[in-house]
Structure 1
Amino acid sequence: MSFQQIERRCQNINPAEFFRTNWVQLCVMKRERIDARKLDPAAREQLRKVVIRLYERGYRPTQIAKDLGLRRPTVSEWIARVKAGQGTGEKKRGRRVGSGRRLTPAQEARIYQEIVAKTPDRLGLPYALWNAQAVRMLIRRSFGIDLPKRTVRLYLQRWGMTPQRPVKRAYERDSAAVKQWLEATYPRIQARARQEQAEIHWGDETGVVTVEHAPRGYAPRGKPPVLAQSKRERMNLIASITAQGKVRFMLYPDTLKAAILIEFLRRLIQDTERKVFLILDNHRVHHSSGVTPLQWTVPHFGSESRPCAGYADARS
């Protein structure tokens, strides 16, 4: 059977796709045997389609194998697969999905529900948030199965669990207002600071606590865990930082009040030689009656107040 004969008999099959390699075409023309194992998956599938089309047109497997340069058992196997409804695609290799897992589906479901419903400490484990080691201990205690932490992480990944930080910031920030402030308001502040040879300071308050600041724990994707807070020690800090990275700060034990902010501002003025433009967020203390008039009595602060709306929700 010539190449042209095969092309005519295999309508609806693109011979150029099947015979796109010179090696395959040469084997057919010279009646050499084709080792189908060395073909790429797409070429093998096209070859199977040719075999099936010839078989459906009445050609015997022996004749098909001879004309295409294939082994007779290979042709018979392909025909049998199509008759069994398996098609001409590649047979999936390797183990079936899930065949090598140590936990049964029921055990996986139980562990998943435990993680979603409770925190480790409520189950008697020495952790506040879920991590691979905590899940490993839970599996070992529940089923007596000791899994490596790497395997536990794979289970968590399959269950849609990701290590997340507990939610600590508000979601109400106004992105449009932030963009407007950064693109319009702040450039005006920069221009005026250059004109008046002033320093721009960014002010903020924070707290230092005796527990981890940003712990992570496994939870379903999109559902950050809730961390139960235990008794802790706290020290607060108010600070300013310039664009050059120069930091000035002051510690205070209680919550921020106008008197504390005023004391910090006085010390900041005393510690700087140039005029200061201090940018603060919308904390209520920053707008208190005792703070606003201060700028009228301290030369470094200029003579006007321009609150930066929208900055607090986005940056603090």
Structure 2
Amino acid sequence: MAAELFDQGRSGAEIARMLGGSEESVRRWRRVWEESGADGLRRRPATGRPPKLDDAQVERVRAVLEQGAQAHGFEADLWTLERVGLVVERVTGVALSKASVWRLLTGRLGWSLQRPERRVVERDESEIARWIAHEWPRIKKGP
């Protein structure tokens, strides 16, 4: 879009208003456009370090994690970042930091943080319902 506007001879301020950018950005775009043409302004893939795990490894990790923590020798069936990191290293041979494990779980696997409900094992739902129906109204009324 910027290249078309440059071809039309529009001013930097006008282009900035039309595209919702700053005049400084438009000046930078114009320099690139003058040096490399419209191809120089095209979006490029994000640069940076490639992921440590390829897609096949991520799918293997997903399958292993879906088996549950107890299936991998942990006492409770609860995944923590440390436990997931250990399992990832066993399955793929790649050691990840806690931050990388978090990005793997939330980004590539699409999982979210889940906290277990804190309830006692001996909880009696029928007794709770009886108390709410009979005792609570009596207490609420007062003497």
Name the TM tier (shorter chain): 0.5 to 0.7
Question: Which residue is 1:14 aligned to?
Answer: 10
Out of 51, 68, 72, the position equivalent to 1:101 is: 51
Percent identity for Structure 1 against Structure 2? 17
State how far apart, in whole Å, the 2-side matches of 1:93 and 1:119 are. Answer: 34
Residue 285 of structure 1 and its aligned partner are, at CA, apart by 4.0
Out of 54, 59, 67, the position equivalent to 1:118 is: 67
State how far apart, in whole Å, the 1-side matches of 2:58 and 2:125 are. Answer: 46
Is it true that 1:135 corresponds to 2:84 in the alignment? yes
State how far apart, in whole Å, the 2-side matches of 1:91 and 1:128 are. Answer: 43
Q: Which has the higher helix share?
A: 2
Is it true that 1:301 corresponds to 2:142 in the alignment? yes
Out of 79, 100, 118, the position equivalent to 1:151 is: 100
* Cα RMSD, aligned residues only: 4.0
State how far apart, in whole Å, the 1-side matches of 2:82 and 2:43 are. Answer: 40
Relative to the length of structure 1, the TM-score reads 0.33
- Listed as ranges, the gaps of 5+ residues in structure 2 are 1-5, 17-22
State how far apart, in whole Å, the 2-side matches of 1:13 and 1:43 are. Answer: 13
Deviations, residues 21-69 of structure 1 (Å, cap 9, x unaligned): xxxxxxxxxxxxxxxxxx94432223444x3xxxxxxxxxxxxxxxxxx
Q: Greater CA radius of gyration, 1 or 2? A: 1
Give the number of aligned pairs. Answer: 129
Q: Which has the higher strand share?
A: 1
Q: 1:153 to 1:11 in 2, by over 3 A?
A: closer
Residue 161 of structure 1 and its aligned partner are, at CA, apart by 1.5
Letter in 2 for 1:46: R
Relative to the length of structure 2, the TM-score reads 0.63
Out of 125, 129, 137, the position equivalent to 1:283 is: 129
> Pairwise mapping of residues 231-310 of structure 1 onto structure 2 (< 5 A)?
234=122, 283-287=129-133, 301-302=142-143
> Pairwise mapping of residues 40-189 of structure 1 onto structure 2 (< 5 A)?
40-49=24-33, 51=34, 75=35, 78-79=36-37, 82=38, 86-89=39-42, 94-95=47-48, 99-115=49-65, 117-158=66-107, 159-166=109-116
- Listed as ranges, the gaps of 5+ residues in structure 1 are 1-9, 21-38, 52-74, 169-212, 215-228, 237-253, 258-281, 303-316
